[in-house]
A = this chain, B = another copy of it.
Amino acid sequence: MIEPILNHRSIRKYKEQTFERLLLTDILTAASRASTTGNMQVYSIVVTTDKKLKEKLWEAHFRQNMVLQAPVILTFCADFNRFNKWCRQRKAEPGYDNFLSLLTAAIDALLAAQNAALAAESHALGICYLGTTLYKADMIIEILDLHRGVIPVTTLTVGYPDESPGLTDRLPLEAIVHYEKYKEYTPEDIDEIYAEKDNAALTLKLLKENNLETLAQVFTQKRYTKKDNEAISRKLLEVIRKQGFGM
């Protein structure tokens, strides 16, 4: 039962062959069974297989090749558009143009995405989440014609794996779990929790490649810099407002 959960690897290389429509329906049905606030289902899933559209999405997703390779791209969107339309057709004035509603819809979309991911993996398909969805929300909105009230939250590439990477390392369970209340980390806790990651072979390779002293510097100076994060944040907040969620 637990097996696909424990065996999850992100797959970044896919075989050319696509998969059956029946499997896709299964994945989408799994998504639709996820918990949803008030059973409102305030999310949508855009299934993209068209080569030209995938090329555009590939541009948006920082030209990561798995977007071209994977036969199916699933874009999970927070979506109050459908619900609002229903309200207005039913003599009800929706009040869902606010930050809480955006988060509510994003939660719906993400729980659905994880169900889809696990359903795909339980059918021997591989998946990869694309964090770039939030970075380039404006481009994705344009490419996929997302209407007001709709914001892309995450994306899954789905296809048959053409690689079999090992399990990714994780922090020890005690690092992320707190019993009863949150327990602040002492400097010693941090050293202990991150010891394996700090000293991994991959880390040493990264430090050499980047000519940096610590793995944390790879994150703060290369991967996720303050400058980039702040620029993306500003743009994302604009997009969110433009799509009809005031703040």
Residues in chain A within 8 A of chain B (CB atoms) = 1-6, 8, 10, 25-26, 28-35, 37-41, 43-50, 53, 77, 79, 81-82, 85-87, 89-96, 98-101, 103-104, 106-107, 110-111, 113-115, 117-119, 121-123, 128-129, 131, 134-135, 143-147, 150, 153-154, 168-171, 173, 175-185, 187, 190-191, 193-194, 198, 213-217, 219-221, 223-227, 229-230, 232-233, 236-237, 247
Instruction: State how many copies of this chain the complex holds.
Output: 2
| Contact status of A145 and B43, CB under 8 A, knowing A82-B175, A95-B224, A224-B96 | no
19 contacts between A and B (CB under 8 A): A1-B118, A1-B121, A5-B34, A5-B119, A37-B129, A39-B168, A40-B219, A44-B176, A46-B179, A77-B182, A81-B184, A81-B185, A92-B221, A94-B216, A94-B219, A95-B220, A95-B226, A101-B224, A103-B236
Closest chain B residue to A227, Cβ basis: B95
Q: Is the CB of B47 within 8 A of A182?
A: no
Bound together, the chains give a CA A90 to CA B190 distance in angstroms of 10
Q: Which residue of B lies closest to A134 (CB)?
A: B103
* Cross-interface CB contact of A176 among B41, B96, B175, B220, cutoff 8 Å: B41
Whether A144 contacts B181 by the Cβ 8 Å rule is: yes
Q: Output the nearest chain B residue to A1 by Cβ-Cβ distance.
A: B122
- Contacts A82-B190, A217-B91 given; indicate if A229 touches B101 (C-beta within 8 A): yes
